[in-house]
Chains A and B, each alone.
Chain A
């Protein structure tokens, strides 16, 4: 039984240019205790997908227009009333945002911001919440946490601030943590520490984590299973070993081939030739077809192809390419 099951999720953003379907029929499952990676070019809908889970759309006018987000034991989050979803947020599912520099309230003390989430979901006294906040800061290895309780965010470095954000996410021992590029804004050594922190938590508490990143190296380091997104859709999903070692979708292959240094999956994604289609009026058929070296006439017709397993491959290794035989890209 999977912890989170996303089925055919569709989310639209209303902008000045029109309605963009940033998430268009996304499905994947996250199992208990699993770190699930989501990769893809900028603008492919990674954040939109994850924000849809908790309906956190910042100031944007966004709407889930179809599909389900089933959280084990809580039901369909997409159909839940706002007040009920607010009880799930922070308690069952926590969110870590990309930019720790802006994710904390600049005029509220750190201790209060951490204690706030505890007091929202548990009936505890102010001092008990503060003590718990101190414990959490210690858990995420913030040095001299007593002093930081009364500090303001601007008095902390980016790395420390991200630790505070993580401390808030861990506060109620949620079953699922969604981390939207939690290390992109940090320098490399800090990135490593933050990754270790999240992994440590999973190993100790069996917390599931959805991990969005641009970095395939990080995915192969920390994730168990993954999804590759392209233009609002998942084009390939499976275990990290299957997807990265035996990629079956031309887009995944292109991503891997574009990595500098063979076998070195330790670099950021390099953009492949051409650019992804607009999401306001996407092309018919496979959305990658216009950039795909193997695309035939059948690829640009009809509905976007669904995910399916391939004969001979692992059962949960799925991809959305209609070609039966995908040759390796010419070198």
Chain B
């Protein structure tokens, strides 16, 4: 198992090289001058030239790329022009908040999706199923920024249950503060998981071994909890995994709205200030996270389904 995981990580090397190349080239075509942004408009021509030399912006492109590659290999992922810090250090400060939103929103999504998917599958094509489907369609259709403001107005300003944004000290306070942004992300994720899980449940209900379970005399809830639900969850693991890696890049909007200093807001700020090393470093870092989530998904799948071996 550990050997296989190691092998899988090695196989990622060419993928990551590709990602660094794409990340690097994309930024070359981005308009705007990094040195100008960093120095402000009143900087003189010499000052700008010094700046360019200092950050290697005057070197030929291929040399710039090699330097970037070196930074990735040494683990710093470059140095921020704006913050004057290694990108990895910035990531280290902000990653916990983003990871918390990812984890919390996935949890919220599962907690919401599970009962509604079960109910919809058991009452397939009956009123309850239709109502649930419509409700989740509405949920998917709501843009996150709008949903955010509705929740802020209702849960924060009217009821006063949650702060309107920001982060605080300690795990408990941060979980409380990050609940609303996680809820926004979790609700739309819940809709997707509900649909997928409902379909998987209906599919599993037709399986022969479910008839075997009924023939044993098992009661409805026993059949559902022991046979139908576990097998359906296994077949949705990969969809959930894809969705989680989507969330990693999808927290940008809520981080901005709820003033969460996570990776998403770091990225937005870097784009605004043309902080090239940060944009590049984050691109690669996001890619690595997605790849890791995929690997974890595969491992979970192999652990959950005895027929599947990790390879």
Give A62 Cβ to nearest chain B Cβ, in Å. 12
Quick check: which of A103-111, A241-249, A266-274 contacts chain B, the rest being far away? Answer: A103-111
| Chain B neighbourhood of A95, CB < 8 A | 211-212, 215
Stretch at the interface among B90-98, B192-200, B225-233, B288-296: B225-233
Q: Say yes or no: A105-B216 contact (C-beta < 8 A), given A99-B208, A152-B306, A154-B307.
A: no
B58 beta carbon closer than 8 Å to chain A: no
| Contact of A120 with B212 in the complex, beta carbons under 8 Å | no
Contact among A54, A89, A104 for B209, CB-based, below 8 A: A104
Judge whether B38 is part of the interface by a CB distance below 8 angstroms. Answer: no
Nearest CB of chain B from residue A114's CB, rounded to whole Å: 10
Q: What A residues does B305 contact at CB under 8 A?
A: 106-107
- Cβ of B122 < 8 Å from any Cβ of A? no
9-58 of chain B: CB within 8 A of chain A: none
Complex CA distance for A83 and B205, rounded to whole angstroms: 19
Contact indicator per residue, chain A 41-58, by CB within 8 Å of chain B (1) or not (0): 000000000000010101
Report the separation of the CA atoms of residues A87 and B207 in the bound assembly, to the nearest whole angstrom.
22
Interface 1/0 per residue, B71-99 and A, CB below 8 Å: 00000000000000000000000000000
Contact call A120/B211, Cβ cutoff below 8 A: no
B 228-247 to A, binary, CB cutoff 8 A, 1 in contact else 0 = 00110010000000000000
Interface string of A150-169 (1 = CB under 8 A from B): 00101000000000010010
Supply 26 A–B pairs (Cβ within 8 Å), ascending by A. Answer: A54-B215, A58-B211, A86-B219, A87-B217, A88-B217, A89-B216, A90-B216, A102-B209, A104-B209, A104-B212, A105-B213, A106-B307, A107-B230, A107-B231, A107-B304, A107-B307, A108-B226, A116-B213, A117-B217, A117-B218, A121-B217, A152-B306, A152-B307, A154-B307, A168-B212, A168-B216
Residue A297 at the chain B interface, CB threshold 8 Å? no
Q: Which residues of A contact B218 (CB under 8 A)?
A: 86, 116-117, 120
| Nearest CB in chain B to that of A58: its residue | B211
Alpha-carbon separation in the docked complex, A152 to B304 (Å): 12
A108 to B: closest C-beta gap in Å: 7
Q: Are B307 and A91 in contact (CB under 8 A)?
A: no
B311 CB within 8 Å of chain A:
no
Q: Is A97 interfacial (CB 8 A cutoff)?
A: yes
Tell me whether A16 is interfacial, beta carbon within 8 Å.
no
B173 at the interface (CB under 8 A from A): no
Contacts of A59 in B (CB 8 A): 205-206
The answer to whether B209 and A103 touch across the interface, beta carbons within 8 angstroms, is: yes
State the Cβ distance, A308 to closest chain B Cβ, in Å.
34
Give the shortest distance, in Å, between B235 (CB) and chain A (any CB). Answer: 10
Judge whether A94 is part of the interface by a CB distance below 8 angstroms: yes
Do B206 and A58 have beta carbons less than 8 Å apart? yes
Q: Which B residues are closer than 8 A to A by beta carbons? A: 205-219, 222, 226-227, 230-231, 234, 304-307
The answer to whether residues A102 and B207 also contact, given A86-B217, A86-B219 and a CB cut-off of 8 A, is: yes
Roughly how many angstroms separate A56 CA and B205 CA in the complex, as a whole number? 12
Q: Which of B212, B231, B234, B306 has the most CB of A within 10 A?
A: B212
B227 near A120 (CB under 8 angstroms)? no
Q: Which of A11-59 contact B (CB under 8 A)?
A: 54, 56, 58-59
Q: Which A residues are in CB contact (< 8 Å) with B206?
A: 58-59
Contact A56–B215 (Cβ < 8 Å): yes
Q: A58-B211, A59-B205 are in contact. Are A154 and B306 (CB under 8 A)?
A: yes
Structural contact, B214 and A89, CB atoms closer than 8 A: yes
Q: Knowing that A59-B206, A107-B305, A117-B218 touch, tell me 9 more A-B residue pairs with CB under 8 angstroms.
A: A56-B214, A58-B206, A91-B217, A105-B231, A107-B234, A116-B216, A120-B218, A120-B222, A121-B217
A97 touches B216 (CB 8 A): no
Taking the closest CB of chain B, its distance from the CB of A160, in whole angstroms, is 16
| Chain A residues positioned under 8 Å from B304 (CB to CB) | 107
Q: Which residues of chain A are within 8 angstroms of B211 by Cβ–Cβ distance?
A: 56, 58, 95, 97, 103
Closest to B223 in A: A86
CB closest residue in chain A, given B212:
A103
Q: Are B306 and A106 in contact (CB under 8 A)?
A: yes
The residue in chain B whose Cβ has the minimal distance to the Cβ of A169 is: B215
Q: Which residues of B are found within 8 Å of A88, using beta-carbon distances?
A: 217
Nearest CB on B from A16, distance (A): 14
Do A58 and B208 touch (CB < 8 A)? yes
- Distance in angstroms from A187 CB to nearest chain B CB is 20
In the complex, chain A residues whose CB is within 8 Å of the CB of B214: 56, 86, 89
